[in-house]
Structure 1
Amino acid sequence: MIASKFGLTGQGSFSKGEADLLLLFICAYVAAFAWSWGPLGWLVPSEICALEVRPAGQAINVMVNMLFTFLIAQVFLTMLCHLKFGLFFFFAGWVAIMTIFIFMLLPETKNVPIEEMNRVWKSHWFWTKYVPEHVTAGDNDTKKAVP
């Protein structure tokens, strides 16, 4: 709708009905993100990080989330002025990249206890080279009691 009315020139206007419909579409776009991808930035690190590294993983997650929220808030209006309706395609492209990343690089954790995540990472086709060989599920060598 924005592309058909404003195009690349930025000249045009909406009738009241068109503006209401556009507002409904934008609200549906935001709601769909909030119900699907929005919470995943908080949920995925808590599901995939082993207990030993979960606090560090969540801390990195919060830092990266806040950093990118700040950056997007700083450049959003400039991007809107330059990209116009293309801004929606820009964000849709990032959703496509996120989908590919999740599909290709994150393992399935359904019915996997958190204690078994090291084994899941070790058996993944990509991440196996980054998990140390001696780390296995239930390995408590690092938590021995001091006499």
Structure 2
Amino acid sequence: MKHFKKKTQQPRSTFIPKAVLILVDEENRIGLLQSTHDSNLWQLPETTIHPKETLEASLTQDCINEFNLEIENLIISNAFTERQEAFEEELFIVTTVYYTDLFKFKENQTQIEFFDLEHLPLNMDKEHLKYIEDYNHVIEKQFMKYVLLNGQMF
């Protein structure tokens, strides 16, 4: 007699790679743009990966196309994973947070505004606020490491 195992339906898993950019100007302010579809929340520039491109290439291309912004020297700050379920499918949104202070606008633009870390808008996208807080923590750790290695105090 043959024994059959009952197959259990496992949800399909889909991974969605996404990139978020923290622009830092010469005054250490953060570049934000105001969303036109999410209750006018302030957020960081972001993109999803384009077919046959890296996240960096997709982010660079979207910055040029959407904001007339040329970016260089992208540095990874951190990566975050969020799990969601939709229609018997598991979605894993993998967000890589990049930062740079090497950028220039090709033309005058009014979409991106710069804010001090201590004076971010009240209507911030909560997820993007988490990325900014994490970035700030990463920068503080790098600064402390620099001070310890060089024996300098200011």
State whether TM-score is above 0.5. Answer: no
Q: Which has the higher strand share?
A: 2
| TM-score normalized by the length of structure 1 | 0.26
Higher RCO structure (Cα 8 Å, ≥6 apart): 2
| TM-score normalized by the length of structure 2 | 0.25
Q: Which has the higher helix share?
A: 1
